[in-house]
Amino acid sequence: MTAIVHEFTTELPRWSPYITPVKLSEATPEQFDAMKVTPSNKSVSDYVLVLAHDPESLAQRSPLFNAIMYGNDGLSRAERELGAIGASVVNRCVYCAAVHGSRYNQLTKGTDVVERIFQDGVSAKLAQHEQVIFDFSVKLSHTPPSITEDDIETLRNIELSDLEIVDLVLSTAIFGWANRLMHTLGQPVKTAG
């Protein structure tokens, strides 16, 4: 018995694909290579098995995603997650928001910021530093992106360096990518008790 999860939550749902995942037993060497790039390859998730239908792009996207979210220096891990959350709220990717909201909570050892965002969406009111970062990621996630030079100035006013601003752009943009796969090729479900 499964139920689709429509509301933002930090309780991790299961991702249920609309597309038939590639069968591991039938995967080509190229598909294998593309899937191996992901960090935990003990069991391959349905998400990766769906993306393995296009191994050429998967082989590049996984290391790109990891470099953007976990690379050294620059913007803190938590603030990259906040960029990811901003994009996921605009694009309403409930699954992505759950994963990255939880990571943000773990990294910051708090739940307040994510609770407010999940409750009030793009109009959430946060402390100044988080507000500026969140608002930037929301604006960059619009179609077309609605950021201006003033928004960059605002980031500089909270003392983000050039590299940190680059990292915020990247972590938001990569979720413009991830959300468009995760939210459109499957849905979050929870297994009812």
Partner 1 sequence: MSEANIIEELVGVGLGSPLAHALLARTDIMNLSQASYDAIIRPREPGGVSHAERAALAARMARQNADESLAEHYLAKLREARADPKLSEPIGAEEIDNYSKRLNAIVRHMDLLTREPKKATRADITAMQDAGITEPDIVRLSELAAFVNYQVRVIAGLKRLKDIL
Which residues form the interface with partner 1 (CB under 8 A)?
Answer: 18-20, 50-51, 53-54, 56-57, 59-61, 63-64, 67-68, 71, 73-74, 90-93, 140-141, 143-145, 147-149, 151-153, 156, 161-163, 165-170, 172-174, 176-181, 183-185, 187
In the complex, the smallest distance separating the C-beta of residue 126 from partner 1, rounded to whole angstroms, is: 21
Provide, rounded to whole angstroms, the least separation between the CB of residue 57 and partner 1: 4
Measured CA angle at 90 (ends 86, 94), to 5 deg: 85
| Least distance to partner 1, CB of residue 33, Å | 13
- d(Cα 185, Cα 116) in Å, to the nearest integer? 28
Which H/E stretch holds residue 36? helix 29-36
Residue nearer to partner 1 on the CB measure, 78 or 147: 147
C-beta of 109: minimal distance to partner 1 in Å? Answer: 27
Write the single-letter amino acid at 72.
N
188 Cα distance to chain centroid: 14
Rounded Cα distance between 24 and 50, Å, is 11
